[in-house]
Amino acid sequence: MLKRAGGRRLAFIEPLMPTLVEKPPEGDDWIHEVKFDGYRSQIVIDDAGVRIHTRRGLDWSSKYRDLVKAARDLGVESAIIDGEIIVLNEAGLSDFAALRKAITRQQQDLYFVAFDLMHLNGHDLRDMPLEDRREILTEIIPEGGRIQFSQALPGDAKAIFHLVDQAGLEGMVSKRKDSKYRSGNSTAWLKTKAFTIDEYDLLGVEREAGKPAFALLAERGTGRYVGSAFVTLNREMRERLWKRVQEHPGTAPKGMKRPATQWVKSGLIGRVKHLRGDEDLRHASLQDFREE
């Protein structure tokens, strides 16, 4: 039974946030979708017009003018749609770095990939099973537009994740077919991320008492700072790293002021596991290091 939601102006709904896991869940109780590398967003349509909110509820409608126009053409009285705003690269993969540029310069490159529906035409759908919400969602999204539907991937979870990894995608999201929509962190949705391993110049190590240690890294050949990575080495390797840094102190790169960092002379290469799909490091960890 659909519940009638009163009021003409709809409020932003805090999104349901998936739990990160090492491996996707097995079994027939789940659907699996591509995890897009973009901005989690929410389209709200009501008597006041169309608004597009960020994951934290900020109104970014003015930044997404073309998508607002596309949402107006959905032909619904009111709706709240959960999804991801993305830009595709030449290989057809979502490109996070290109997304940031497109928002200010190339609006025509933006897509909204819809994967859930919380409200439609005066009815609150959040207590409905996910499968039913998605079935309704497919009926209101036309093919070939700027707003697209996130299709479920066929096959078993292990095989799907292997293909996702091989294709160079960010990962996958697994969702319980019968789950209700509940804001906040949830184990009804699980995300499994695909990582890659690359080598970077190790600039220094940031160490503060009571806090995790970080390795500061730069792109090889250019010296461009790309971010930091958790130091996840075993005890023996950590001690070897500390010794190497202390015996070969360096100076901070120009413009970088980090008081807790011990800089090291060039010649140390870090092997880093990180989430693929961006120019800078995200969810990165130092796996090993070697001399140049």
3-state SS, the chain, equals: CCEECCCCCCCCCCCEEEEECCCCCCCCCEEEEEECCCEEEEEEEECCEEEEEECCCCECHHHCHHHHHHHHCCCCCCEEEEEEEECECCCCCECHHHHHHHHHHCHHHCEEEEEEEEEECCEECCCCCHHHHHHHHHHHCCCCCCEEECCCCCCCHHHHHHHHHHCCCCEEEEEECCCCCCCEEEEEEEEEECEEEEEEEEEEEECCCCCCCEEEEECCCCCCEEEEEEECCCHHHHHHHHHHHHHCECCCCCCCCCCCEEEECCCEEEEEEEECCCCCCCCCEEEEEEEC
* Backbone angle region of 283, left / alpha / beta, with phi > 0 → left and psi within -120 to 50 → alpha: left
Q: 6-49: per-residue pLDDT in tens?
A: 557 899 999 999 998 988 999 999 999 999 888 999 999 999 99
pLDDT in tens, 195-217: 888 899 999 999 888 888 999 99
Burial of 272 (C-beta count, 10 Å sphere; 0-12/13-18/19+): buried
CB atoms within 10 A of CB 9: 11
What integer is the mean pLDDT of 119-127?
A: 97
- Cα 228 to the chain's mean position, in Å? 18
Q: Domain residue spans in the chain?
A: 3-193, 195-291
Q: What is the pLDDT, as a whole number, of residue 90? A: 75
Roughly how many angstroms between the first and final C-alpha of the chain, as a whole number? Answer: 66
Q: What is the pLDDT of residue 7?
A: 52
Q: For 232-245, how does the pLDDT look when each residue is reduced to its tens digit (9 = 90+)?
A: 888 888 899 999 99
Superfamily of domain 3-193: DNA ligase/mRNA capping enzyme (3.30.470.30)
What's the confidence (pLDDT) of residue 29? Answer: 96
Amino acid code (one letter) for 57: G
pLDDT at 135: 98
Tokens 């497919």 belong to residue: 138
pLDDT of residue 109: 87
Q: What is the mean pLDDT of residues 156-162?
A: 92
Pair 95, 140: CB distance under 8 Å: no
Confidence of residue 193 (pLDDT cuts 50, 70, 90): confident
pTM, entire model: 0.74
CATH architecture, range 195-291: Beta Barrel (2.40)
**Which amino acid, 6?**
G
